[in-house]
Structure 1
Amino acid sequence: MADVIPLHRLAFSLVPVIIVLILMFRWSLGVRQAIMGLSRMILQLLLVGYLLGYVFTAQTPWIVIAILTVMLLAASWIALCSIRQDRARNYPYAVAAVFVGGGITLFFMTQGVLGLDPWFSPRVFIPLAGMTFSGCMNAVSLAAERYYVETERGETHNDARASAMKAAFIPITNMLFAVGIVSIPGMMTGQVLAGVSPLIAARYQVMVMCMMFSSAGLAAALFLWLIGRATSRRDSPSREA
């Protein structure tokens, strides 16, 4: 079991943060937004810590489903930050993409690989869902931004879709190449710090990387397919006219 970090030692993690904030202030880089983001991060993590402590002991599937629903809706909305002008119109497509892409992958990993019993085990299901939905969110965000940029340049749907899929895969592809060489991912790091054998932790990390890759690809592909269909339906009356 990993040692608990005392609060006075945790405060030392803010020292390099303060240095960066000073640099941002000196260079007029919007230090206020950074401070707000850091404050929000600390508050959100404290709140989620208390919430998960209750959820882990409750062992109720409906609470888990409610949390997953909030995560899904929030991830889908945040994913469309890059296309604010069409955000509301594309929101249902983002929800469907994150739900299907993340849901299918999450089912395979929790039931096929881990064999959770009960199936909704909060201590495992919620953290994995968070990883999955965040990966889908990033993939959809990159795909949406690139798709609209390419279509505004006059590219066809197929060409814009290809460019968007390439953009969506950049982060996860870089992660696949870097894992184990440049970085030790978060889940594996946490398990090693908790005293788990590195070989066992590596197995879990392989599962997580497969989960992240497949969920991101499925979500981006489904989102692009849905907006492609929607675009063709909107354009068809004008062609007929």
Structure 2
Amino acid sequence: MNLSMIELSRLLIAFVPVVLVIGIMWHWRLQPGKASWAMLRMLVQLLLIGYVLVFIFEAQSSLIVIAVILVMISASSWIALNTISEQRKSLYFITLISVGIGGSLTLALITQLVLELETWFEPRYLIPLAGMTFANAMTSVSLAAERLYAELKHGHSFIDSRNIAFQAGMIPVINSLFAVGLVSLPGMMTGQILSGVSPFIAARYQIMVMCMIFASAGLSTYGFLFLVQRKH
């Protein structure tokens, strides 16, 4: 058995608790099929992205990097509306603008003014940071959208529903701010420490990332709620 097969067999152990959770969902009839499909997509997507990133890093093309970011924005905007799928077609453009502008402004500030990349489109920095930015914006918008329409269905005014929705959308980000360093060491900081980088340097980069995540989530959620309010 070669090294890759050993690594694969060890990786399969990580799926044991996953199967347990899906079994619980099946027993309680909580859409285990959807969770299984999500896990399968995650597995395929992450296996494929390794090959894609090698190509992108070697190409060093600004057009390819821009295309990747546009795909991220489009996909995250579509996925963000999973919580209100019946409104997806009417709200997709609004979500696209909100996530695109809120995430892109924050990403540009971090990469161009904080990191000061030698080439503005350096894929080794821009693409991973873009992934963090748009993923967190997606999550916040998704939570806010679900809460907004839930509150409206309960007869609350739009202003009250909007405020509740914004708070709901920011809960994961704010909780992560409270927990970082005490409960968890985020992925970027952990990866740097494991690769031998000084914990002090890793902490500085993680502070930058946490600010980026908070800002992109907040701006994107605000943009979504503002545009929906104008639509209403």
What's the TM-score, normalizing by structure 1? 0.88
1:145 aligned partner, one-letter code: E
Distance change (3 Å), C-alpha of 1:9 and 1:110: same
Distance change (3 Å), C-alpha of 1:156 and 1:178: same
In the alignment, which residue of structure 2 is the partner of 1:8?
A: 9
Aligned pair count reads 228
Q: Does 1:60 align with 2:100?
A: no
In 2, Cα distance between equivalents of 1:156 and 1:12 = 49
1:6 is paired with a residue whose SS is: helix
In 1, Cα distance between equivalents of 2:70 and 2:212 = 19
In the alignment, which residue of structure 2 is the partner of 1:234?
A: none
Which moved further from structure 2: 127-136 or 143-152?
143-152
Question: What is the percent sequence identity of the aligned residues?
Answer: 52
2:164 aligned partner, one-letter code: S
Distance change (3 Å), C-alpha of 1:89 and 1:36: closer
Shift of 1:35: 3.2
In the alignment, which residue of structure 2 is the partner of 1:117?
A: 118
Distance change (3 Å), C-alpha of 1:22 and 1:86: closer
In the alignment, which residue of structure 1 is the partner of 2:109?
A: 108
Q: Does 1:38 align with 2:39?
A: yes
Shift of 1:25: 5.1
In the alignment, which residue of structure 1 is the partner of 2:206?
A: 205
1:102 aligned partner, one-letter code: G
In 2, Cα distance between equivalents of 1:121 and 1:230 = 38
Distance change (3 Å), C-alpha of 1:50 and 1:86: same
Distance change (3 Å), C-alpha of 1:142 and 1:15: closer
In 2, Cα distance between equivalents of 1:27 and 1:160 = 31
Q: Provide Cα deviations, 1:166-212, integer angstroms capped at 9, x if missing partner.
A: 11111101000000001111111111111111111111100000000
In 2, Cα distance between equivalents of 1:22 and 1:148 = 31
Q: Does 1:189 align with 2:198?
A: no
Q: Does 1:146 align with 2:141?
A: no
Structure 1 residues not aligned, in runs of 5+: 232-241
In 1, Cα distance between equivalents of 2:140 and 2:189 = 22
Q: Provide Cα deviations, 1:62-110, integer angstroms capped at 9, x if missing partner.
A: 0001111111001001111112222111111100100111011001100
1:111 aligned partner, one-letter code: Q
In 2, Cα distance between equivalents of 1:50 and 1:7 = 17
1:151-166 aligned at under 5 Å gives the runs: 151-166=152-167
Which moved further from structure 2: 61-70 or 146-155?
146-155
In the alignment, which residue of structure 2 is the partner of 1:223?
A: 224
Distance change (3 Å), C-alpha of 1:27 and 1:140: closer
1:220 aligned partner, one-letter code: T
Shift of 1:34: 3.4
In 1, Cα distance between equivalents of 2:45 and 2:124 = 18
In 1, Cα distance between equivalents of 2:117 and 2:194 = 23
Aligned-residue RMSD, C-alpha:
1.8
In 2, Cα distance between equivalents of 1:192 and 1:122 = 22
Which moved further from structure 2: 32-41 or 211-220?
32-41
In 1, Cα distance between equivalents of 2:154 and 2:15 = 44
